[in-house]
Each structure stands twice: as C-alpha cells, then as structure tokens.
Amino acid sequence: MIYIFLFILGAIVGSFLNVVGLRWNLKNFGGRSTCPSCGKILRWWELVPIASFLILKARCQRCQTKISWQYPIIEIWTGLIFLSIFNFQFSILQNLILISVFCIYIIITIYDLKYKIIPDSLVYVAILLSVVSRWLSVGSTLDWLAGPIIFAFFGSIWLLSSGRAMGFGDAKLGLSVGLLLGAPYAFSAVILAFWIGAFVSLAYIFLNKISFLKDVKELTMKSEVPFAPFIIIGAWISLVFRLNILHVASF
C-alpha cells in the first residue's frame, strides 16, 4: 500500500510539474487548465493523472485534438521517481532533497524539450540543493569533485564548439548531478546520457523513414537536440541501479 501511495503521489506531482514546465516562461502557474487547441476548460475528471489520458483515448473531448503523450509519460516517470527514491535507506531530509532536485530536473526536461534552453533559476536551485545533499552524505573528496569535473568536461565541449555541440546550461546541470550523486553514479550518468542520446537519435532517424511519420520534422546533423533530458534520465537510472560503470574507487 505504501508503494501504491508513493506512485500515486508522484503521478499527482508529475501532473503539476507538467503545468509548471509548460508555463515557466509565462511566470503564470495559476488559472484553470484548458485544451491548447480549442480552449475548452478541463473538468476535474479530465485531469486525473494517467487515467484521464486513457479514458479520453488521448483526445480532447470537444475538438478531438490528440493529447500529447508527454502528460502521462511525465506522470508515470515522476511516480516511479517517488517510488524508487523513497525506497533508499536515506534520512527523511535526504529523501526530500533528492525528490525536490529530481522534480526540478523534470521541469528542466519539459522546458528544454520545448524551448531548447535550461532556465538559470531552476538549475541554480538544483545546484544549491545538491550541495546540501552532498554535505549530508558520507562522501569522499572525489564525490565533491565530481560536480566540478563534469562541469569542466561539458563546459569544454561548449567552449570548443562555440555552443553548437552543447549548451552552457548542460554544464551547470552536470555540476548539480555530480554533487548530488557523487563520483561513481555521476560519471555513470554522463556515460548513460551519451549512450541514451545516441540510441534515441538513431531510433528517431530510423522511424522517420517510416511512412506514417513523414510529417515529423526530420533529424539531421544540424538539428538542435536538447541534451539535458538524457543527462537527467541517466542520473535517475544510475542512482536507482547503483551503477559504477567506470569502477570508480572513492578516496
């Protein structure tokens, strides 16, 4: 029952994070939720996380416009994050900080996918909370250095490519991930981010060749692909499965 409660709580929070991520640039998180196509004010039963998407068959009841898969995916993902993080043997404060940082990460994911940029205010709060989390954890010197090392690595890519290969926001996000997870998990998260990014890009290119996806924008070498979502997914997977791909030893 506790696991079910945590998942449902996470899905509800995920529904709210969807709103925040999509409205962040507007700085207006109030007001009733509406259909983005016809403007219909959504009733309570149309806003139940995951369930409403299935009941409505992924379409607005009035205009029959397709509802984005982003909504249930974010709700399910947030539910899984709540479920997995509270399963760790951390203190209540550390769990709350981890949950808070990953909620910020989810907002960053939504915003970066939509606008191809990471809001400074969000990533700075994530960095601050990550510092507090690292201070509360029993870590090594390398765990403290993991954030600056990843920041320098991503920052070098940004600098050498003049911002074409990677944004500076990704470097700041890497600083937060490094401090939050510590060296073994953070370095694994970076490796996973590149692996997942390559797989998703190749899969997208392949699926784009299928006839029913011809209306989707084609992905080319010059296409701008947000990297933050891959970093964040890599961070979560690395944390959940305790990955140490490079077999980093603490000192």
Mean pLDDT (whole number) for 81-103: 89
Which amino acid, one-letter code, is at 205? I
pLDDT at 224 over 80: no
**Tokens 């290969």, residue located:** 165
pLDDT at 213 over 80: no
197 close to 225: Cβ distance less than 8 angstroms: yes
* Of 31-35, 195-199, 231-235, minimum mean pLDDT range: 31-35
Q: pLDDT value at position 27? A: 67
Helix (H, G, I), strand (E, B) or coil at 59: strand
- pTM of the shown model: 0.91
Q: pLDDT value at position 28? A: 66
How many whole angstroms from its chain centre is CA 154? 18
- Mean pLDDT of the chain, nearest integer: 88
pLDDT at 214 over 80: no
Would you say how long the chain is, in residues? 251
Helix (H, G, I), strand (E, B) or coil at 41: strand
142 close to 183: Cβ distance less than 8 angstroms: yes
Tell me which DSSP letter residue 153 carries.
H
Q: Grade residue 103 by pLDDT with cuts at 50, 70 and 90.
A: very high
Query: What does the alpha-carbon distance between residue 183 and residue 141 come to, in Å, rounded to a whole number?
Result: 9
- The residues spanned by each domain of the chain are 1-87, 92-251
Q: pLDDT value at position 168? A: 96
Q: Which residues contact 235 (CB under 8 A, 6 or more apart)?
A: 105, 177, 180, 181, 185, 186, 189, 193
Q: pLDDT value at position 30? A: 64
Q: pLDDT value at position 74? A: 96
Q: Grade residue 138 by pLDDT with cuts at 50, 70 and 90.
A: confident
Share of the chain above pLDDT 70, in %: 90
Of 251, 238, 225, the closest CA to residue 112 belongs to: 225
> Which has more confidence, 86 or 236?
236
Burial 33-46 (b: 16+ CB within 10 A, else e): eebeeeebebeeeb
Which amino acid, one-letter code, is at 47? L
Q: Which two tokens stand for residue 152?
A: 């320098």
